[in-house]
Structure 1
Amino acid sequence: MCYDIALAAKLQSVLKAIPLLKTGINPDLGFEPTYHKIGMSYPQWPVIVNNDGPTLDTFTWGPIPKMLDTAEKVKKQRQLFLNARSEKVLESGTMWNAIRHQRCLIPATGFFEYRQIPGWKNKVPYYIRSSEQDVFFIAGLWAHSNSWDVDKPARIPTFTLLTRSANTVMRQIHNGGDNAGRMPMMLTNDLAQEWLHPQLTDTAIQELLRYQLPPAGLDCWPVNSVRKVKPDDATVITPVQYEGLPALVKDVQE
């Protein structure tokens, strides 16, 4: 699953990618470009929603569903809701189906995933980005959640990031663990604007969720682990050479 993302760009870059936003950016956002945020820290992130017109504001990554009704449950299980499988959006009875009309876009400049190499003790981290645009958009869903913060008891706007089955390149990278073979639900700019349409039918949602970014639409390279404390700068995504690392096969047919 995708728990590590980057937005190393000014928010004005998001405006250029989604013209419908026009001037819909909260001037008090205070978001600073970042080369890495981990989902399990439940960071604030710029998110685009369409409430009487597309706007960009900061939401907290990680919904808190009603089933997590104690602080202890939140602590143990909240990370399970950082991502949502796109297949669940139209599955009746799921939390994601219940909020399928609360759609949002998560802007990013890249994300990180770990590759398992047979015989190697440690997985190899990769940085992955769009090969066609500096800022791209990941489909998401949003919800107001109980904060469980005694100092801030009010409900807070939160979001989850949608994932889908991986393309052939991402299957080679995200190849281990319980959720192997997944990637973020990356959208083209045109599809991203469709995802925000307030009158989107279930049929149209299903059609959008069928989209899979082709392997040629990705650039990726190995980096140092992002799970270790380091400066939040370009060194986070600097390419690293791993001796004996098998090359990715870029022309595998689906």
Structure 2
Amino acid sequence: MCYDISFSTTIEMVTDYLPGLVLDPQLGLDYNMNRHFQIREEKSYPIIICHDGIRALTPLKWGIEVAPGIVSFNAQSERILNDKKSRWYRRRNSRCLIPVTGIYEHREIKGWKKKVPYYVKLKNRSLFCIPGLYSASQNSFALITRPGNDIMRQIHNSGDNPYRMPLFLADKQLEERWLASDLQEAEMEAILDYELPSENMEYYPVHTIRTQKERPDKKQKDEPFNWPDLPPLGKDSNELSLF
């Protein structure tokens, strides 16, 4: 599951990335900061939707209520077209893009009391978009995930639905096609099946992110942090008891 995303950019950079975006009047400029968004936050997140051929940047909350009291934050790519009884199949035409500068995922290491957070982003891209689905009636969205590639399986190695990752796409053209009103199911399936090669990602450990406290080194949440005795990826049997 993906529960943490980074938006350390400005609204202007998003509109430069996808020219012609219409800005929702409700969208404040308080997003222009180094933000770490979590699913439990009540604040809305800037999401790109397309309605009647017009692409707009609008604030939506993370998480779609799929049943009374049940909220889904992630939509599994495999169910959007292949499970015609699923809630995601019914929402397949309510597509959106989630602009991010990166995401966070946690790695479990045997013998460590707490998981180690990693920051993951696409190489050579300061801003990119993750496909999602949205609910107009709830003003909310869900981020699409898929089975993880080799690196993400080693990072996201425990917890709810382990070994998965967001649906990272290769380039902006694929992202824009996700919004296209003329997108056919065959092309949609190809996008949903896409697996980003591990070599196209940049990733590194960061300090604890789910806290309001300042890092001990005074750096931003998305900057690298050197954890003493951190074993390499794939070597998760370290028996040290840390933290």
Pair in the same fold by TM > 0.5: yes
Shift of residue 42, structure 1, vs aligned partner: 4.1
- Note the alpha carbon deviations across 1:105-147, whole angstroms, 9 max, x for none: 00001111111112222211111111121111100001134xx
Shift of residue 28, structure 1, vs aligned partner: 4.3
Tell me the distance in 1 between the aligned counterparts of 2:185 and 2:21.
Answer: 29
Shift of residue 167, structure 1, vs aligned partner: 1.1
Q: Report the AA paired with residue 179 of structure 1.
A: N
1:87 corresponds to: 78
Q: How do 1:169-208 residues align onto structure 2 when only pairs under 5 Å count?
A: 169-187=151-169, 188-208=171-191
1:54 corresponds to: 55
- Larger mean Cα displacement after TM superposition, 89-98 or 237-246: 237-246
- Larger mean Cα displacement after TM superposition, 231-240 or 206-215: 231-240
Tell me the distance in 2 between the aligned counterparts of 1:46 and 1:135.
Answer: 13
Shift of residue 24, structure 1, vs aligned partner: 1.6
Shift of residue 27, structure 1, vs aligned partner: 4.7
Shift of residue 37, structure 1, vs aligned partner: 1.2
Q: How do 1:1-150 residues align onto structure 2 when only pairs under 5 Å count?
A: 1-19=1-19, 22-31=20-29, 32=31, 33-52=33-52, 53-65=54-66, 67-68=67-68, 73=69, 77-78=70-71, 81-90=72-81, 91-145=83-137
Which structure has the highest helix share of the two? 1
Tell me the distance in 1 between the aligned counterparts of 2:111 and 2:214.
Answer: 31
2:238 corresponds to: none
- Larger mean Cα displacement after TM superposition, 100-109 or 53-62: 53-62
Q: Percent identity?
A: 36
* TM-score after normalising by structure 1: 0.84
Q: Which runs of 5+ in 1 are unaligned?
A: 146-155, 250-254
Structure 1 contact 163–183 (Cα < 8 Å) conserved? yes
Q: Report the AA paired with residue 78 of structure 2.
A: E
1:228 corresponds to: 211
Instruction: Give the secondary-structure state (helix, strand or coil) at the position aligned to 1:126.
Output: strand
Aligned length in residues: 227
Structure 1 contact 221–239 (Cα < 8 Å) conserved? yes
Structure 1 contact 42–62 (Cα < 8 Å) conserved? no
Tell me the distance in 2 between the aligned counterparts of 1:190 and 1:137.
Answer: 11
RMSD over aligned Cα, in angstroms?
A: 1.9
1:161 corresponds to: 143
Q: Report the AA paired with residue 56 of structure 1.
A: L
Segments of 4+ in structure 1 off by > 4 A?
Answer: 231-234
* TM-score after normalising by structure 2: 0.87
- Note the alpha carbon deviations across 1:30-80, whole angstroms, 9 max, x for none: 142343111122430111111022111111111122x21xxxx2xxx32xx
Structure 1 contact 63–144 (Cα < 8 Å) conserved? no
Q: Report the AA paired with residue 190 of structure 1.
A: Q
Tell me the distance in 2 between the aligned counterparts of 1:82 and 1:246.
Answer: 31
Instruction: Give the secondary-structure state (helix, strand or coil) at the position aligned to 2:85.
Output: coil
Shift of residue 26, structure 1, vs aligned partner: 2.6
Shift of residue 157, structure 1, vs aligned partner: 1.2
Say whether 1:238 aligns with 2:223: yes
